[in-house]
Structure 1
C-alpha cells in the first residue's frame, strides 16, 4: 500500500475537546495527541507514549524542545525519552519525506495490522492485555497482505467471525526494545464491521484476558487506560464517520 503520507489537515475543536476528556489522566498523553492534530505536516513515533514529532512547521514549540534532524543524534534523544529526561520532542525537517525515510532505515521495521471493529450497535471491540485496554492487531506474516493480516489477527485475538473491512484508517508508529535493540513497529489500522453475535474468546496465550464490545461511555473509560496510538486510532474513526 506504499509509504503513508504525512498528515496535512487540521481537525475541529470538538476533536481536541474529546482528546482532552479521554486523556485527562495524563497531561503528557494529552499533549502527545492534541499537538499531533494541530501540526500541518508531520510523522509521529511514540516511545513509551512519548512522541517524536517530525514536522516542517510547528505552532506550540514551547511544549516540547525542537531539534534539527541533520544536526541530531536520534538515539541520544530516544534515550532521554526512555529515562524521563524528555516527555517528547519535535524534529524539524526541510525535507520531511527524505528525512523520514532516513530515520526508518536506522531500525528494523516490523509491519503489523489491526482493526477497530464495530458491531451492529456501533459498539467498539476492545481487548485487555498487560493491564491496559487495546485494539486487536499483530504482525503481518509471510505471504499475507495487510488486510488479510488485519482480519486474521482480529479473529485470533478475539475469537470473532464475519469480519468485513470498511476502510483504512491510518498508520501508527512506535519504538520498542527487542533483543536489546529498538525496533520500529508500523501498524496499519482498518475500520471493520461484524454482525457476529456469538461469544468472544480472548487469546490467552498472547496475554489477552478480555475481549469485549464497549458502548460509547465504556469506550471513553477504556481510552483513559490505553496507549496514545490507540487514542489516535479512535479519533481517526470519529473523523471518518460519514
Structure 2
C-alpha cells in the first residue's frame, strides 16, 4: 500500500507550489514568509473559485506569484490539489565521499533523480529505485527526509501536480554514473558545493528549494 500520506501528521508550511515556475504559497495567518513574498497578491481564506482563478492567472503568466493565507492551511492545500491530478514521487539529493552533489541534465535543466511512486512501494523504496534507474548507481545509502516539493506540469489532457519527497542519500561505491537516456537524461555530473549556485540558475525552483533546505548556500 502506498503510504505517502502517513509521513506527516500535519503539513510542512509554508508550502510553495510551482505553477510554470511561478510560486503559489500556502501559509497560516501569522506565518512568516520570505521577503520576496511581501508584496505578492494575497488572499485570505480563499473560496474555491478564488483559488481556481489564482491558479489560472499563474498558469498564464499573468501573476508572478501569489499567497493564500488561512487559519487552516491544510484545507487550502486540499482545495488547490482538487484542481489537479496528484502524482506522488520520491527522489534524492546524493553526495559522494568528497561531498560533491549529483546533478543530472535533463530537458534543458539541471535536475536531481526522482520518480513516481509505484503501487506497493514505500517512499524510501521508490527514492532508491529511481536513483538507481536514472543514474546507474547501486551503492547508495538512504539518509533522512529533507523536504517535500510540489510542482505542476501538463501531461496530455491532465493537469498534474507532482508531490515529491526528497531524501538525503550517500554514494558509497566506485561505479560510474550511467544516464538513463530513455528518461531524457543527457549528462550526470558531481558538483562541488561552492559551484552549486551556478548550476541552480539553470534548474527548477523546486530543486533550488531542496538544495537550500539541505543546508547549501547559493
TM-score (norm 1): 0.79
Deviation at 1:63, TM superposition (A): 2.3
Task: Specify whether residues 104 and 3 from structure 1 end up closer, same or farther in structure 2 by C-alpha distance, changes over 3 A only.
Answer: farther
- The yes-or-no answer on 1:44 pairing with 2:16 is yes
Q: Which residue of 2 aligns with 1:150?
A: 127
Q: Contact 2:52–2:83 at 8 Å: present in 1 too?
A: no
Assess, with a 3 A threshold, how the Cα gap between structure 1 residues 238 and 62 changes in structure 2: closer, same or farther: closer
Alpha-carbon distance between aligned partners in 1 of 2:149 and 2:98, rounded to the nearest angstrom: 27
Match of 2:44 in 1: 68
Q: How does 1:1-242 map to 2 (within 5 A)?
A: 1=4, 2=6, 4=8, 5-7=10-12, 41-57=13-29, 62-71=38-47, 72-238=49-215
Contact 2:141–2:172 (Cα < 8 Å) also in 1: no
Q: How many residues align?
A: 206
- Separation of aligned partners in 2, 1:114 and 1:106: 24
Alpha-carbon distance, 1:3 to partner: 5.7
Where do 5+ consecutive residues of structure 2 fail to align? none
Distance in 2, Cα, partners of 1:155 & 1:220:
25
Alpha-carbon distance in structure 2 between the residues aligned to 1:230 and 1:191: 13
Separation of aligned partners in 2, 1:168 and 1:43: 16
Distance 2:118 2:157 in 1: 23
Does 62-71 or 170-179 show the bigger shift? 62-71
Structure with the larger helix share: 1
Q: What is the root-mean-square deviation in Å for CA atoms of aligned residues? A: 1.8
